[in-house]
Chains A and B, each alone.
Chain A
Amino acid sequence: MILASLKKEALIILSDVHSIGVLLILPVAFMLIMTFAMSEQQNDIVAKTSLYLNSAENNDFSLVYQGYLAEQGFQIVDDKAQADIAIDLPTGFDERILTGLKAQSISLDILSKISPQRSGLLVELVQVALAKLRLHAYMLDSGELEDDISLEQQIEIIGDSTNVADYFLITTPEHKLASATLYSVPSWIIFGIYFIVLPVSITVINEKQNGTLIRLKTFPISSAKYFISKVSAFCLLSALQFIILTLIGIYAVPVITEQPEIVISNWPMYAFSALFIIVSANALAFLVAALVNSYEQAIVLGGGINILLAAVSGFMVPIDIMPQIMADIASFSPLYWSAEIIRAAFSGKDLGAVMSYIINLSIFSLVTMALAKYLFEMKIRKLTWN
């Protein structure tokens, strides 16, 4: 019976282009878009920024400062109208660079519409360039920097002496998740899996509206058994969707987005934890389906909940740049637990590392599925032949 139910649900979903769109095309599109968006490196961001430097006196150090700004990656332009950022140096800049500039004497105007995160990064780089200029001036003054070599060579010497990046060995808990692909692919696989809520809700609404639910009530099958067979069928469909999204995420997304390849380091754990994620997604889907009575409600409640949970789970904006309160909310989201489990499988962690998330998902699935079954049976019991 479950096989017959699976075949029926599969045929219905395959005949509905919107369901395929929601289950496969939408998450794959998000994977690609977000991977592209997140793959933009710092160098790319700075290189896209044009800077206009204005000096009242057009003296030596303003030219050197311009050199350091170019070294940071800024595009130096001569026309202020074309600039994203404009810097105005005060009079006496050369004299005061070593003795000390007055507070707030350099004006920095951000002329274009730049996000707060990006403008913070750019201001920091402008300040790093000024720090290098002061070192440059100090070393010239002390004779440690020869003034008979070219400006480019002087800048290179200062650059070498201030390069401290090589001194650090940076290790993070998820060092293997450094690439954008490894961050976004797990997120959007999970997003797609939880979007099963729409096909499930729409199927139940259709069955109610076209009278098949009431007809089924007179067939020799209990509403509990029907519910279980329907859940099983959709879980099998979710498993198929999981496999397809995983294969696309691993093999297609890195190629299309020109990002480093990613691999699932722990396949058994990936497959095992996928079962918990699939059941959890379907439990939520059937709860929503039991609550809604119209397509509009299904879209607003089902789609809305999924998008909200994805947002608070750090799928759209990484959780580490969210305010603390938002990050705390994420720790209550089944989508967040699911994505963390998948990320762990990608980064080669063992099951123990994600056991708390698996327990959370199990409790969530049990409670939600029990409630969904109760509401579904209530819904069927209330049906009359009118």
Chain B
Amino acid sequence: MNAIKINQLSYKYSNNDYYSLADISLNIKAHACTGIIGPNGAGKSTFISALCGLLDDYQGTIEYQPMVGSNLLDAVKAQVALVPQEYAFYPQLTVKQNLNYFISLCAKNKSSGQISEQSSEQKSDKALINDIIEQCVLTTVANSRASKLSGGYKRRLNIAIALVKQPTVLFLDEPTVGIDPESRAIIINLLEQFKRQGKTLLFTSHMLDEVEKICDDVIVLREGKAVFNEQNSQENLLLTITFAQGVETKTLPEQYQQLSQQHFQVKLNSAVELNEQLMWLANSAMTITNLNYSANSVDRLYQGKQAELKT
């Protein structure tokens, strides 16, 4: 089931003569985590801005499932929470005061049950804030002024504010940038909790190991185009085979990708598939001079795609 359907999305800033987003068509799966990676200037922020309804005159369509409200921004306001890369809160207020203020902005919609699928289980504001503080491990600093917090706590407060909306879809822009390993681990754990709660997560990051660990899907953006959009699985394997000279390779299945004359690569989704392929090769009586396999990591996918595009 898809949470967001994107069809032929293009966008050009008025002061640019090139498209920052160029003909992107893809689906974001519901209740899954999708990572958006790409070099600086690839269009990640513009892509998120478009999905958040922050761009007025884009081309193409963006549809939330279900589509609440009459336009994209209405759907976003009802379902989506945004965690910007900047600390988007009031530094003069304490953690609790920030959360109290932002929750007051949701008051009307909560009573009409528009924010969340869980609206039937709406908690009181106070209980919700306490839950969020606990969930984001902010208890010890709940009454501290936000400006006095360390970077890790600030990042968590940034996420906590998004949670007051009780969103079904959560966009996070580099949520772990510039923080210590302990805070990073807490945030990764938080994201995994969100996944378990069935939220749809979409986040940008330069930390490919994070993307690999958390994300179910990966979108690689480059020059405004989605150059790669595929399921990420830690069980993805790459099997590389070098056949002996003279071996007839025309009979190889289509999934075998030829790297050079006798050099082939095949992507596999599980150890079972690997086993099946090894069995098939053994039965085929083809002479193999070299064979190895490795995890098809996000890093490898990303580097490979970048190298491919450069050539």
Determine which of B48, B91, B106 lies in contact with A220 in the assembled complex, contact meaning CB atoms within 8 Å.
Answer: B106
Which of chain B's residues has its CB closest to A226's CB? B105
Given the interface contacts A218-B80, A219-B77, does A16 sit within 8 Å of B54 by beta carbon? no
Q: How far is the CB of B284 from chain A (nearest CB, A)?
A: 52
Given the interface contacts A8-B97, A386-B45, A386-B49, does A218 sit within 8 Å of B81 by beta carbon? yes
Interface size, B (range)? 35 or more
Interface residue? A356 (CB, 8 A) = no
Q: How far is the CB of B85 from chain A (nearest CB, A)?
A: 8
Task: Collect the chain A residues with CB atoms within 8 Å of residue B87's CB.
Answer: 210-211
Determine which of A11, A16, A219 lies in contact with B105 in the assembled complex, contact meaning CB atoms within 8 Å.
Answer: A219
Which one of B107-115, B238-246, B262-270 is at the A interface?
Answer: B107-115
Q: How far is the CB of A280 from chain B (nearest CB, A)?
A: 27
1/0 per position for B66-89, CB-CB distance to A under 8 A? Answer: 000000010011101110101111
Task: Collect the chain B residues with CB atoms within 8 Å of residue A212's CB.
Answer: 88-90
Interface residue? A319 (CB, 8 A) = no
Interface residue? A163 (CB, 8 A) = no
Given the interface contacts A210-B88, A214-B88, does A8 sit within 8 Å of B101 by beta carbon? yes
- Report whether B101 and A384 are in contact in the complex, using a CB–CB cutoff of 8 Å: no
Q: How far is the CB of B47 from chain A (nearest CB, A)?
A: 10
Determine which of B81, B82, B90, B105 lies in contact with A1 in the assembled complex, contact meaning CB atoms within 8 Å.
Answer: B105
Determine which of B54, B91, B92, B106 lies in contact with A219 in the assembled complex, contact meaning CB atoms within 8 Å.
Answer: B106
- Report whether B161 and A385 are in contact in the complex, using a CB–CB cutoff of 8 Å: no
Q: In the bound complex, how far is the Cα of B89 from the Cα of A11, in angstroms?
A: 14
Q: In the bound complex, how far is the Cα of B91 from the Cα of A218, in angstroms?
A: 20
Interface positions, chain A 1-52, Cβ under 8 Å from B, are 1, 3-5, 7-8, 11-12, 15-16
Task: Collect the chain A residues with CB atoms within 8 Å of residue B161's CB.
Answer: 215
Which of chain B's residues has its CB closest to A212's CB? B88
- Report whether B54 and A385 are in contact in the complex, using a CB–CB cutoff of 8 Å: yes
Given the interface contacts A8-B93, A11-B93, A384-B55, does A219 sit within 8 Å of B102 by beta carbon? yes
Given the interface contacts A215-B84, A219-B102, does A385 sit within 8 Å of B48 by beta carbon? yes
Task: Collect the chain B residues with CB atoms within 8 Å of residue A216's CB.
Answer: 105
Q: In the bound complex, how far is the Cα of B77 from the Cα of A262, in angstroms?
A: 54
Interface residue? B225 (CB, 8 A) = no
Q: In the bound complex, how far is the Cα of B88 from the Cα of A383, in angstroms?
A: 14
1/0 per position for B176-197, CB-CB distance to A under 8 A? Answer: 0000000000000000000000
- Report whether A4 and B104 are in contact in the complex, using a CB–CB cutoff of 8 Å: yes
Most chain A beta-carbon neighbours within 10 Å: one of B45, B84, B108: B84
Interface residue? A379 (CB, 8 A) = no
Task: Collect the chain A residues with CB atoms within 8 Å of residue B46's CB.
Answer: 384, 386
Q: In the bound complex, how far is the Cα of B80 from the Cα of A39, in angstroms?
A: 63
Determine which of A3, A8, A221 lies in contact with B90 in the assembled complex, contact meaning CB atoms within 8 Å.
Answer: A8
Task: Collect the chain A residues with CB atoms within 8 Å of residue B73's CB.
Answer: 217
Determine which of A1, A7, A217, A381 lies in contact with B107 in the assembled complex, contact meaning CB atoms within 8 Å.
Answer: A1
- Report whether B92 and A211 are in contact in the complex, using a CB–CB cutoff of 8 Å: no
Given the interface contacts A1-B105, A8-B90, A211-B84, does A217 sit within 8 Å of B114 by beta carbon? no
Interface residue? B173 (CB, 8 A) = yes
Determine which of A1, A215, A220, A221 lies in contact with B88 in the assembled complex, contact meaning CB atoms within 8 Å.
Answer: A215
- Report whether B49 and A218 are in contact in the complex, using a CB–CB cutoff of 8 Å: no
- Report whether B92 and A12 are in contact in the complex, using a CB–CB cutoff of 8 Å: yes
Which of chain B's residues has its CB closest to A384's CB? B49
Task: Collect the chain B residues with CB atoms within 8 Å of residue A5's CB.
Answer: 101, 104
- Report whether B108 and A220 are in contact in the complex, using a CB–CB cutoff of 8 Å: yes
Most chain A beta-carbon neighbours within 10 Å: one of B45, B54, B145: B54
Task: Collect the chain B residues with CB atoms within 8 Å of residue A386's CB.
Answer: 45-46, 49
Interface residue? B100 (CB, 8 A) = yes
Task: Collect the chain B residues with CB atoms within 8 Å of residue A12's CB.
Answer: 90, 92-93
1/0 per position for A206-244, CB-CB distance to B under 8 A? Answer: 000011101111111100001000000000000000000
- Report whether B82 and A383 are in contact in the complex, using a CB–CB cutoff of 8 Å: no
Interface residue? B165 (CB, 8 A) = yes
1/0 per position for A79-117, CB-CB distance to B under 8 A? Answer: 000000000000000000000000000000000000000
Which of chain A's residues has its CB closest to B53's CB? A218
Q: How far is the CB of B101 from chain A (nearest CB, A)?
A: 5
Q: In the bound complex, how far is the Cα of B77 from the Cα of A226, in angstroms?
A: 14
Which of chain A's residues has its CB closest to B11's CB? A384
Task: Collect the chain B residues with CB atoms within 8 Å of residue A1's CB.
Answer: 104-105, 107-108
Task: Collect the chain B residues with CB atoms within 8 Å of residue A210's CB.
Answer: 86-91
Q: In the bound complex, how far is the Cα of B89 from the Cα of A1, in angstroms?
A: 17
- Report whether B91 and A4 are in contact in the complex, using a CB–CB cutoff of 8 Å: no
- Report whether A211 and B165 are in contact in the complex, using a CB–CB cutoff of 8 Å: no
Interface residue? B56 (CB, 8 A) = yes
**A-B CB contact pairs (8 Å), 25 listed:** A1-B105, A1-B108, A3-B104, A5-B104, A8-B97, A8-B101, A11-B92, A15-B92, A210-B87, A212-B89, A214-B54, A215-B82, A215-B84, A217-B73, A218-B76, A218-B77, A218-B82, A219-B165, A220-B78, A220-B108, A220-B115, A383-B54, A384-B54, A385-B54, A386-B46
Binding site for A on B (CB under 8 A): 45-46, 48-49, 52-56, 73, 76-78, 80-82, 84, 86-93, 97, 100-102, 104-109, 114-115, 145, 161, 165, 173
Query: Contacts A12-B92, A212-B89, A386-B49 given; 20 further ones with Cβ under 8 A?
Result: A4-B101, A11-B92, A11-B93, A15-B145, A210-B89, A210-B90, A210-B91, A211-B86, A214-B54, A214-B82, A214-B84, A218-B77, A218-B82, A220-B77, A220-B114, A226-B105, A384-B46, A385-B48, A385-B54, A385-B84
Binding site for B on A (CB under 8 A): 1, 3-5, 7-8, 11-12, 15-16, 210-212, 214-221, 226, 381, 383-386
